[in-house]
Amino acid sequence: MEKNKKKTTIYDIASLANASPSAVSAVLNGTWEKRRLSRKLAERVMRVAEEQGYSVNVQASLLRRERSNIVGMIVPKYDNRYFGEIAEQFEAMARARGMFPVVTCTQRDPQLEFEAARELISYQAECLIVTGATDPDRISNFCAGSGVQSINLDLPGSGAPSIISDNEAAAFDLTNLILDRCQQEMGWIGPLRFVGGRLADHNTSTRLSGFLSAHKARGMEISNDHVLAAGYSAESAARVLAEFQPNEPTGLFVNSTISLEGVVRWHSGLGRLSKNVRYGCFDWDPFGSFLPGNVGMVEQDVTAMLTKAFSLINRNDVPPERYLVPCKLRVF
Amino acid sequence: MEKNKKKTTIYDIASLANASPSAVSAVLNGTWEKRRLSRKLAERVMRVAEEQGYSVNVQASLLRRERSNIVGMIVPKYDNRYFGEIAEQFEAMARARGMFPVVTCTQRDPQLEFEAARELISYQAECLIVTGATDPDRISNFCAGSGVQSINLDLPGSGAPSIISDNEAAAFDLTNLILDRCQQEMGWIGPLRFVGGRLADHNTSTRLSGFLSAHKARGMEISNDHVLAAGYSAESAARVLAEFQPNEPTGLFVNSTISLEGVVRWHSGLGRLSKNVRYGCFDWDPFGSFLPGNVGMVEQDVTAMLTKAFSLINRNDVPPERYLVPCKLRVF
DNA sequence: ACATTTTGCTCCATCGATTGCGCAAACGTT
DNA sequence: AACGTTTGCGCAATCGATGGAGCAAAATGT
């Protein structure tokens, strides 16, 4: 470990170890036995490389190689457990398979999503996993044009295979749970309110569909004023509820943990009226079960989704279908 | 956008646009005016590049260039808001400065931390920001040996500048807040318990020191059985409290949101005794203020820490000092 | 008309690692 | 001793983009 400013290359090691650059390369990338180099040379080279604190120049290496083994992932935010877990597990699973994960966070900004995709392709990523993108098709088209595989996760697109939670079934189950609890704990039977998200968004509309059919199965109608999907932020959830005084029992279906923040803020400001409220949330958070009034949450099965995603990587016969992954209902 | 499997290179574009590869290169990297190429040629090349869906091969480009503009970051986990925010803001701030952020998650595994550092150096990162590492000095030594700058964040080391929260001051303030609330709300004056973390860990011991001096300032002693630092996991926090029945008022200083999960689990199982408990937590979570008994949290100032970190990047006159960043006390 | 400058573009070496190919020495066979 | 085989290693082309150097044509000056 010298204090050199310049980095050691295989050429430096070659002259120090009295070998040729190609021998050094073979030793350091483990192909030396295949190339019939002697163990003696190999050990000499490895010792020198160790002493010099050598590490390959990936740029040079990948330029020459045919495959990069890089898998890219685009993630919108790290502000909830869902995406945090996706990123973390993705990295671990990629490493376990000998791939190099590169994750980048795009702040739900469509332009940044596209730039990030381009950037990952520039790095010769062989596959791009696009998570929660606002415009997945634009990205999968671009990938296809560059001969790069892409896979949608969490939000579906039509240009690439999409692995998504079974939002409808889980919303159906969660709705039933909330309805049941309202009846059991407050003796109240009635339609819930749907809070958070955007109807134009695929996940929101699918969840709403499950929400509606659970009501329909009980012979309940949902009027428009019970669908409060004004956005994902905590603020918008708090805003749509601001005027609502639950003088009688009521129940809420909350569409994400971000919206849940707004709901809980509203709920905690209700005083003694708060006992009239039960709610459940689509998405999981470790503190969720301790929030008063919360009867359950839907945890999306990140491991199953990513396992499926990895099973599609490096296959070229994958149709742009949707793969539905069941969720886990956490009952509190 | 053809369906080519091979990627388009500047050579492909050169022949299609009837220009030389160097002209194409100059056009596409924006140096064409400096190289006195005509606007006509430039436009022709750009049009062809667009049509072919070209994106540079970063490997080739960086191999030839002198600087990579890559800044790497190592982060232990994405399982709490603190590190999620660090990663997210780091990416945004790096991009705003024209750098390329690469973040990788190391699961608090010392070996993986080291491998990840080596990997980032292999990618020619010019600076490595090492966050929450178990062995920061090993990494900064390795970086120094490769002529790569490194900066410690969150946990200090001796081999590189370290930007850390002012844990002692914030712990002092948080302790006082909890003590005050115990007195105001329960009429109880007495020593708190310190829950979570590991004493060998720098942050834990510094926070404990602030915790102790706040008590000392009030003439209170802390006995060893009030320091319950058996690890960071929710399980270990729940375990150390399992036997504890708060038949009288009591207060807890919780050392992280992960430990807080365990504390809240314990607290929610206390039944009517739970009214005897007040606690505060070092670290912030959006649901924290809604947890019963929680009197306040410390939010570390991620923006200030990262701003400081970026101000040190690409400077070679930075001594391996510690820079303390004040925290924000959130009072509930 | 000739010299000088400017414009517009291309040639080619280079970055560091990889790998097909080939050569020489050592070893084995008859 | 002559010949084939194995062992051990190096040569040099290559990946794609970059940029210094240089050349020819056009523009300008005298």
Domain boundaries of chain B, sorted by first residue: 10-63, 67-160, 167-299
Q: How far is the CA of A69 from the C1' of D23 (A)?
A: 44
Minimum distance, in Å, between the CA of residue B218 and any CA atom of chain A: 33
**Which tokens belong to B180?**
């005050």
pLDDT reported for residue A3: 45
Is there a contact between B147 and A104 if contact means CB atoms under 8 Å apart?
no
Query: Which spans in B275-328 are helix H?
Result: 302-312
3-state secondary structure of B55: coil
DSSP lists the bridge partners of residue A194 as A227, A253
Torsion of CA A285, A289, A291, A292, to 10 degrees: 150
Q: How far is the CA of B38 from the C1' of D22 (A)?
A: 18
B91 touching A, CB under 8 A? yes
Q: Letter for the amino acid at A328?
A: K
pLDDT reported for residue A21: 96
Looking across all nucleic acid strands, the nucleotide with the smallest C1' to CA distance from residue B7 is: D16
What average pLDDT score do residues A257-275 get? 94
> pLDDT-derived band of residue A79, with 50, 70 and 90 as boundaries?
confident
Q: How far is the CA of B15 from the C1' of C8 (A)?
A: 18
Tell me the CA distances in angstroms from A141 to A144, A146, A318, one per residue in order. 5, 9, 15
Residues of B in contact with A57 (CB under 8 A): 63, 122, 124
pLDDT reported for residue B1: 42
**Which tokens belong to B242?**
């399992």
> pLDDT-derived band of residue A6, with 50, 70 and 90 as boundaries?
confident
In this structure, the number of other CB atoms found within 10 A of the CB of residue B37 comes to: 18
Which residue from A minimizes the CA distance to B144?
A3
Is there a contact between A145 and B2 if contact means CB atoms under 8 Å apart?
yes
Q: How far is the CA of B29 from the C1' of C9 (A)?
A: 17
Q: How far is the CA of A25 from the C1' of D15 (A)?
A: 16
Sole residue written with tokens 């019963």? B292
Q: Tell me which residue in B87, B100, B289 faces A78 most closely, judged by beta carbons.
A: B87
Is there a contact between A147 and B6 if contact means CB atoms under 8 Å apart?
yes
pLDDT digits (tens, 9 = 90+) for B120-129: 999 999 999 9
Residue B285 CB contacts under 8 Å (≥ 6 apart), including other chains: A287, B80, B81, B257, B260, B297
> pLDDT-derived band of residue A2, with 50, 70 and 90 as boundaries?
very low
pLDDT digits (tens, 9 = 90+) for A292-320: 999 999 999 999 999 999 999 988 888 99
pLDDT reported for residue B5: 63
Scored b (16 or more CB within 10 A) or e, A32-58 reads: beeeebeeebbebbbebbeebbbbbbb
Backbone angles phi, psi at A326, to 5 degrees: -65, 150
Is there a contact between A147 and B119 if contact means CB atoms under 8 Å apart?
no
pLDDT reported for residue A1: 42
Q: Is B304 exposed, middle or buried (0-12, 13-18, 19+ CB in 10 A)?
A: middle
Report mean pLDDT in 10-residue bins for chain B, 332 residues: 69 95 96 94 96 94 92 94 95 95 94 95 96 94 92 96 98 98 97 96 96 97 95 93 95 96 94 95 95 96 98 90 97 96
B contact test, residue of A78, A124, A266 with most B CBs within 10 A:
A78
Sole residue written with tokens 């500047």? B10
d(CA A38, CA A50): 18
B53 touching A, CB under 8 A? yes
Residue A200 CB contacts under 8 Å (≥ 6 apart), including other chains: none
User: Identical fold at A68-160 and A167-299?
Assistant: yes
Is there a contact between A292 and B288 if contact means CB atoms under 8 Å apart?
no
B residues 270..289 contacting A (CB < 8 A) = 285-289
Backbone angles phi, psi at A282, to 5 degrees: -85, 105
Strand D footprint nucleotides (protein C-beta < 7 Å): 7-12, 14-21
The CATH topology of domain A10-63 is: 434 Repressor (Amino-terminal Domain) (1.10.260)
Q: Please give the CATH number for the structural domain made up of B167-299.
A: 3.40.50.2300
Question: For chain A, what is the radius of gyration of the CA atoms?
Answer: 26
Domain boundaries A68-160, CATH class: alpha beta
Q: Is the CB of B121 under 7 A from strand C?
A: no
What average pLDDT score do residues A87-108 get? 95
Residue A235 CB contacts under 8 Å (≥ 6 apart), including other chains: A262
In this structure, the number of other CB atoms found within 10 A of the CB of residue B60 comes to: 17
What average pLDDT score do residues A253-282 get? 95
Which residue from A minimizes the CA distance to B103?
A103
Q: Letter for the amino acid at A36?
A: R
**Which tokens belong to A75?**
């993630």
Which residue from B minimizes the CA distance to A59?
B59
Q: Is A87 exposed, middle or buried (0-12, 13-18, 19+ CB in 10 A)?
A: buried
- H or E element, residue B324: strand B322-325
In this structure, chain A runs to a length of 332
- Which among B231, B267, B239, B271 has a CA at the least distance from the CA of B252? B267
A121 touching B, CB under 8 A? yes
d(CA A209, CA A169): 9
d(CA A71, CA A314): 10
B residues 226..245 contacting A (CB < 8 A) = 234
Is there a contact between B55 and A146 if contact means CB atoms under 8 Å apart?
yes
**Which tokens belong to B109?**
């595994």
The CATH topology of domain B67-160 is: Rossmann fold (3.40.50)
In this structure, the number of other CB atoms found within 10 A of the CB of residue B142 comes to: 20
pLDDT digits (tens, 9 = 90+) for A30-59: 999 999 999 999 999 999 999 999 999 999
> Would you give the DSSP letter of residue B204?
H
- Which among B59, B62, B48, B41 has a CA at the least distance from the CA of B11? B48
Q: Is the CB of B61 under 7 A from strand C?
A: no
Is there a contact between A53 and B146 if contact means CB atoms under 8 Å apart?
yes
Minimum distance, in Å, between the CA of residue B288 and any CA atom of chain A: 8
Q: How far is the CA of A37 from the C1' of D7 (A)?
A: 9
Q: Is B50 exposed, middle or buried (0-12, 13-18, 19+ CB in 10 A)?
A: exposed
pLDDT reported for residue A5: 63
Q: Tell me which residue in A2, A56, A290 faces B122 most closely, judged by beta carbons.
A: A56
CA A86 to centroid of chain Cα atoms: 4
Residues of A in contact with B141 (CB under 8 A): 1
d(CA B43, CA B33): 12
d(CA A11, CA B321): 36
Scored b (16 or more CB within 10 A) or e, B245-272 reads: ebeebbbbbbbbbbbbbbbbbbbeebee
B residues 2..41 contacting A (CB < 8 A) = 2-7
Tell me the CA distances in angstroms from B78 to A84, A248, B4, B88, one per residue in order. 5, 40, 38, 10
> Is the Cβ–Cβ distance between B78 and A85 less than 8 Å?
yes
**Which tokens belong to B122?**
């292999």
Tell me the CA distances in angstroms from B105 to A85, A112, A117, B115, B116, one per residue in order. 11, 22, 20, 11, 8
With 60 as the cut, is the pLDDT of residue A170 above it?
yes
Q: Is the CB of A15 under 7 A from strand C?
A: no
> Is the Cβ–Cβ distance between A294 and A267 less than 8 Å?
no
pLDDT reported for residue B284: 96
A316 touching B, CB under 8 A? no
Q: How far is the CA of A36 from the C1' of D5 (A)?
A: 15
Q: Is A285 exposed, middle or buried (0-12, 13-18, 19+ CB in 10 A)?
A: buried
Q: How far is the CA of B216 from the C1' of C30 (A)?
A: 96
Q: Is the CB of A19 under 7 A from strand D?
A: yes
d(CA B236, CA B234): 6
Reduce the secondary structure of chain A to three states and give it as a string.
CCCCCCCCCHHHHHHHHCCCHHHHHHHHCCCCCCCCCCHHHHHHHHHHHHHHCCCCCHHHHHHHCCCCCEEEEEECCCCCHHHHHHHHHHHHHHHHCCCEEEEEECCCCHHHHHHHHHHHHHCCCCEEEEECCCCHHHHHHHHHHCCCEEEEECCCCCCCCEEEECHHHHHHHHHHHHHHHHHHHHCCCCCCEEECEECCCHHHHHHHHHHHHHHHHCCCCCCHHHEECEECCHHHHHHHHCCCCCCCCEEEEECCHHHHHHHHHHHHCCHHHHHHEEEEEECCCCCHHHCCCEEEEEECCHHHHHHHHHHHCCCCCCCCCEEEECCEEEEC
d(CA B236, CA B240): 6
Is there a contact between A122 and B57 if contact means CB atoms under 8 Å apart?
yes
Is there a contact between B78 and A100 if contact means CB atoms under 8 Å apart?
no
Sole residue written with tokens 């399980």? B235
3-state secondary structure of B163: strand
DSSP lists the bridge partners of residue A162 as A152, A322
Residue B283 CB contacts under 8 Å (≥ 6 apart), including other chains: B80, B81, B82, B256, B257, B260, B297, B298, B299, B300
Is there a contact between B88 and A102 if contact means CB atoms under 8 Å apart?
no
